[in-house]
Chains A and B, each alone.
Chain A
Amino acid sequence: MKPAAFDYARPATRREAIELLAGAQGEARVLAGGQSLMAVLNMRLAEPALVIDITGIDELHYIEERDGALCVGAATRQAELAAHPGLAERVPLVAQALPWVGHFQTRNRGTVCGSVAHADPSAELPLCLATLGGEVVLEGRRGRPRVVPAASFFQGVLTTDRAPGELITEVRFPLAQAQTQYRFTEVAMRHGDFAIVALAAAIRGEQVDLGVGGVADRPVVRTLPAGDGLDEALNEFAWALGAEDDAHATAAYRRTLVRELGRQLITEARPC
């Protein structure tokens, strides 16, 4: 299990990285935390001609509040976000979800943007981003940066709206809203595994935005009634996700968790 040969570049600036990526005609891969990419390279499930290491780009290394969102640059690690002062108040959903993302050791290197770029249908951060209605900032060689809503960014298994020549420079998590409660839960085979079903909820009064990961081929979010009609709405949502069987869980099990855990998550949060 050793990677195939590739050229390596460590740009110092965002601009350099984008130039390289755009010039590589789809034959380059961005190396961020490497917690997904390196495993794939080691297994030779990908043999890119060029690997562009963005970990040394200081200008992409930030966590900032801007225009009602917490903006996280592409060189920022998951552990850094988890340790960000005030995260639990500013973006409580992400604060709750981060401990579920892999392990202490993988969060130390894995980046927030890398997880979003990778678009694993079970991943927690894309689910949070979709549930909160966040955005992804993409920069290519030409034109202005594209700001893509999470809703249209995630398109399928490991498939996103990012063009091969574009770099994700930042993701934006909307800040917590007043009178809204945020809840996250997940069922996985073991602690730190990818979710069989992950649920993220933003509950405000009679409405809830419920995001589901691990079931469809991408995170899917629906606005449901939080009180009357919740069961019917959850059932319809569960079926609409098109769950499938895999080695660890059946489709019926996944739908059941959406219905029953979804109900638990929402009703337990409501009274307070």
Chain B
Amino acid sequence: MLKIEANDSHRVTLTLNGRERSGNARPRTLLSDFLRHELGATGTHVGCEHGVCGACTVRVDGVASRACLMLAVQADGRRVDTVEGLAGDDGPLSDLQAAFRRHHALQCGFCTAGILNSCADFLGRERDPSEAQVRDMLSGHLCRCTGYTGIVRAVLEVAAQRREQRQEERDDV
């Protein structure tokens, strides 16, 4: 059993976007604060710290989760993926990011990181989502700038592209 006293700081080691990173956290340190201020991964944003806005959404072991509703110590030993990992370090934007750009799915961009993470998890599970399903998944995020249209279009387009790609790959085989 792991036990940490309130004022002790604990070494948290996790795999952030494929790379092992570690830093100190006390029990009460939120995962969102740890990622941003201890590891310097400021791509994850904070908009409410009570689980509603979705800006802080990251993937923990692949699963979209609110980083403001997790303790840093809970991520110890886990895989955490954030917006910074979606495109390789110097690489081109991923299909999802590029679609967001094409469809003007962001304005201020503050909500975007969380949305991209939810979409990454969702599209991994739902290969042929309907618009209703996409909207349902997106309802866990608040965007104040875009009215969501561009976001919905981008997600549906990526789903279609990936379906085609898979089809082509199957045809090749």
Contacts and interface: CB of A to CB of B under 8 A. Distances in A.
Contact of B1 (A12, A38, A39, A55): A12
Contact of B6 (A7, A99, A109): A7
**Chain B interface mostly helix, strand, loop or mixed?**
mixed
B170 interface: no
B65 interface: yes
A104 B137 contact: yes
B140 A7 contact: no
A3 B72 CA distance: 13
Interface in B71-100: 71, 73-74
B65 A192 contact: no
A8 B71 contact: yes
Contact size class for A? 35 or more
Nearest to A8: B27
Nearest to A41: B28
A252 interface: no
B2 A42 contact: no
Interface string A57-86: 000000000000000000000010000000
Nearest to B71: A8
A65 B4 CA distance: 37
A82 to B, nearest CB: 11
A6 B70 contact: no
A55 B26 CA distance: 18
Contact size class for B? 35 or more
A103 B140 contact: yes
Given A51-B27, A99-B136, A108-B64, A1 B73 contact: no
Contacts of A53: 71, 74
A10 B28 contact: no
B136 A3 contact: no
Contacts of A55: 74
A38 B69 contact: yes
A6 B28 contact: yes
Contact of A106 (B5, B33, B140): B140
A5 B26 contact: yes
A104 B3 contact: no
A104 to B, nearest CB: 5
Contact of B140 (A3, A16, A99, A105): A105
Nearest to B50: A39
B50 A7 contact: no
A43 B48 CA distance: 11
A222 interface: no
A3 B28 contact: yes
A35 B54 CA distance: 12
B49 A109 contact: no
Interface of B: 1-7, 26-28, 30, 33, 49-51, 54, 57, 63-66, 68-71, 73-74, 118, 121-122, 136-137, 139-141
Question: Which 3 A-B residue pairings sit nearest by Cβ, starting from the closest?
Answer: A103-B140, A8-B27, A38-B69
